[in-house]
Amino acid sequence: MGFFSFLLLIVLVCWIISLQGKIDRLSDTLKYVCKKINDYEKVAFTTPQVVPEKDVVEQSTKFEQQILEVEKEEKVIVQPKISEQDVEQPKTQPVFIESTPKEDFDLQKALLGNIFNKIGALAIIIAVIILIKLVSPFIVITPVMKFVFGILLGSGLLVAGSVIHKKENLKNYSEVLLGTGFATYFITTYCGATVLDLYGSITALIIGGVLLASTYMVSDKLKTASMIIVGLVGGYLTPVFAEASIEEIFGFIIFLNTLSLVFTLKNQKYKLLNTINLALSMLCMTNIYVFKVFLFKNEEVSYVYPLVLWGVYILYDLFRDKASLIDNISSWINYALLTVFSLLLFSNAHEKLGIAFVVTALIYLLLAGSSRVAQNLLYKTYEYFVLLNVWLYIVFILNDVQSVISWTVVALILSVLAATFKLYYLVPAVVGFYSTAFVGALIAQSGNEVCLIAKYAPIVNPRTFVFMIPVVCMMFSSMFLRGFAIRAANWVKFMGLSMGYIYAVGEVNSYLMRISEDDDFINFNRLMIFTIIGYIYSLNAKKIANLTQSLLFNFASYSIFSIATILLLCGSYWYPDAYLPIVNLRFAAYLLAIVACVMISRWDKVDFFKYVAVFLGFLLCHSESAGIPKLYGEGWQYLISLSWVLYSGIATIVGIVKNRRYLINAGIGIIILTIARIFIYDLAKVDALYKLVAFLALGIILMLVSYIYTVNKNKK
């Protein structure tokens, strides 16, 4: 186990080396984006000079005359060939301006300056592995020795990179070594905590924090963004690979963002990092909280962490450049992060949630007032936050069924008045009231229970009233508004359609909860039913998008399709006790997903969804064949590889015969995966008989595919 853990460390180092080229390109891209943003902000926030009208007319006239003269000089007239005697020779010869040839691709520079150094570093590491393998029978390599070797390897790369960086023509080479050195440090830190068991997760986080700060310091000194990217990758992976707790992960994320903000205040050209960091932090923290705390209740986490992260970015707003577009985006993400966590933490205590919204609104109001006094543009963003919090407070305080129906009826009356008398100023009010009813229906309570997830009797329950009345009213309002406010009509129709499907999800969920709450088979079926409802919603939204040419429904269709596919993948490896191959809801969900891909591909005339359909079919074969060993024992394990072989072969053969390029390409990709599985996994894990079956099937399929391809190619 010790040698394999060390081998894992080396493989990860090699992976970082191979990724360094992409990091360099990403670094250049980041520099370019930051430069463009800075240029845009300079233009956007610079007061234009007023030019007198007379000067403008004179300048435009001169410019037009210059254009006409240039066109006369550059105009080429093709005439029939005539003799030199009939044409008077010009006194002056025309002057031809040679265009500067484009610089050819320098292959030697690409090989000697960029690629060979990576190959050389990889060769050295492989040589070290071979050396360790040769001496391992004679020398006992303890975990401490492996850790020290990783530190020495990273230190050697850092020293070499620092020395070489002094030479101008070797800076690219030196950044590769520096990035690989820091990557080696990070990987050694992970292995020291988990694989080698030398210290705990807290120590790993401290070391990771020091490394992250060091990469930022090196990036600041060398003026390169590649070290920042290496540091961010290592920073976000540190708490995960160190197997830290939720509170330790949240604390490290706050430290990472704080370090990024301090670095950005000194280096304003890299302020895009704050937006990237905060977006990743929001994704990471919300996912952890939703899956581990809110749904499965594995761990508890304090509300202090999102509050501290929010406060850190508020402090940054007080010190940053107030006229910054990219920083304003960070402020919006920060507000969204606090709002989402407030909804999660106080989901069952709406009074506390309302108080949180009011307090946050007061803080933003004070900040907006101070910003207005300081005559900067930050107050505009904060005033939006105040209005949004007031609206959220109203929604979450008036959260009963009667309030939702009241919002809905008022919106319906306003839509009828707006459509009848062409009162355009009432349209925003209609959208606002319906949006309030939409959010209110999701959180509406009846008898101390949230209507959406309450265990009512099927259909005849308060949930039906709180959802179906708004759905009907929204559909009628959409018809009324379609004639003169098409965008508002589409938005109202979208909310009505979404509420209908959310109601279906709530009915299914409450019915299954009445049967059993903790049964794995019930939870599996619930997940698959949600997936099926998601695909039906996606198809419905896509059909409406094609009829109305609405980007809103198009975006909704693709978004819900992606979410349903993620749910389907999450359930692909779930085999409860009552599971039966083929006769299960997962099989039906996969078939519906494939049908949805085919239909969307036909509607959009795009081959992407055809590839997705082939891939989903492959996952269906894998998940169903993997379920058989779960039922009948590991003796049927070979069916997984056999299903891979058969599916890839059939897909490729059908693509060749029917001349379907997407089937051929997808089949070839799956064949490559199949070959890798058989040679890597089956060759080491299964018995001799199963190896024979797998290799024989693979050989026959490959020969058959080759034969059919050759025959069809000769026919053409």
Digit-coded pLDDT (tens) for 357-368: 889 899 888 888
pLDDT of 594 reads 96
Q: Which residue type, as a one-letter code, is found at position 645?
A: V
Of 116-125, 491-500, 542-551, which gets the smallest average pLDDT?
Answer: 116-125
Instruction: Give the C-alpha separation, 403 to 398, whole Å.
Output: 6
Q: With a cut of 70, say whether residue 586 has pLDDT above it.
A: yes
Among the ranges given (198-202, 509-513, 528-532), the one the predictor scored with the smallest mean pLDDT = 198-202
Cα 599–chain centre separation:
25
Query: Helices 427-443 and 462-481, interaxial angle, to 10°?
Result: 160
**What's the pLDDT at 400?**
80
> How far apart, in whole angstroms, are the C-alpha atoms of residue 405 and residue 489?
20
What string of DSSP letters covers 211-262? Answer: HHHHHHHHHHHHT-SHHHHHHHHHHHHHHHHTT--HHHHHHHHHHHHHHHHH
| Cβ atoms of residues 10 and 18 within 8 Å | no
> Does residue 3 register a pLDDT over 50?
no
Residue 493's H or E segment, with its range, is helix 486-515
Residue 389 belongs to what H/E stretch? Answer: helix 378-397
pLDDT score of 105 more than 80:
no
Which two structure tokens, joined as six digits, stand for 481?
Answer: 């508004």
pLDDT tens profile 300-323: 667 788 888 888 888 888 777 666
In which band, very low, low, confident or very high, does the pLDDT at 1 lie, cut at 50, 70 and 90? very low
User: 486-518 burial, b if ≥16 CB within 10 A, otherwise e?
Assistant: eebbbbbbbbbbbbbbbbbbbbbbbbbeeeeee
Give 225's pLDDT tier (boundaries 50, 70, 90): low
So what's the pLDDT on residue 233? 74
- Give the end-to-end CA distance of the chain in Å, rounded to a whole number: 56
Please report the pLDDT score of residue 231 as a whole number: 73
Look at residue 151 in the predicted model and tell me its pLDDT: 85
* Residues 43-53 as b or e (16 or more Cβ within 10 Å = b): eeeeeeeeeee
The CA-atom distances, in angstroms, between 314 and each of 278, 345, 369, 391, 563 are 13, 21, 14, 22, 32
Is 313:331 a contact under the CB 8 Å cutoff? yes
Mean of all residue pLDDT scores within the chain: 76
DSSP code of residue 400: B
Q: Give tens-digit pLDDT for 13-30.
A: 454 445 445 445 555 555
* pLDDT on residue 480: 92
**716-to-545, 661, 713 alpha-carbon distances in Å:** 41, 15, 5
Half-sphere exposure of 610 (CA within 13 A, CB side): 17
Residue 226, pLDDT above cutoff 80? no
Contacts of 702 (CB under 8 A, 6+ apart): 649, 671
Whether 661 contacts 608, CB under 8 Å: no
Question: Which residue has better confidence, 677 or 495?
Answer: 495
Check if the beta carbon of residue 165 is closer than 8 Å to that of residue 171.
yes
Checking if the pLDDT of 601 tops 90, the result is yes
The residue with greater pLDDT, 445 or 45, is: 445
* For helices 2-44 and 143-164, angle between their N-to-C axes, nearest 10 degrees: 40
Rounded-to-integer distance, Cα 598 and Cα 535, Å: 12
Residue of 591, 685, 577 lying closest to 641 (CA atoms)? 685
d(CA 532, CA 431): 29
Model's pTM, two decimal places? 0.59
Q: Which one is predicted more confidently, 667 or 292?
A: 667
Asked if residue 690 has pLDDT above 70, the reply is no
316-326 exposure pattern, b = at least 16 Cβ within 10 A, e = fewer: bbeebebebeb
Residue 164 clears pLDDT 80, i.e. is over it: no
CA atoms within 13 A on the CB side of 101: 3
CB count, 10 Å around CB of 631?
Answer: 12
pLDDT score of 700 more than 60: yes
pLDDT of the residue at 494: 95
Kind plus residue range of the DSSP H or E element containing 53: helix 53-74
In degrees, rounded to 5, the angle at the alpha carbon of residue 690 between the alpha carbons of residues 689 and 692 is 65
- CA distances, 226 to each of 29, 33, 208, 214, 236 (Å): 10, 14, 18, 13, 16
pLDDT on residue 4: 45
State mean pLDDT over 466-480.
94
Q: What pLDDT, on a 0 to 100 scale, did the predictor assign at position 396?
A: 77
pLDDT at 203: 85
Cα–Cα distance measured from residue 176 to residue 120, given in angstroms and rounded to the nearest whole number:
12
Instruction: Quick: pLDDT tens for 523-542.
Output: 888 899 999 999 999 999 99
Structure token pair of residue 167: 């030479």
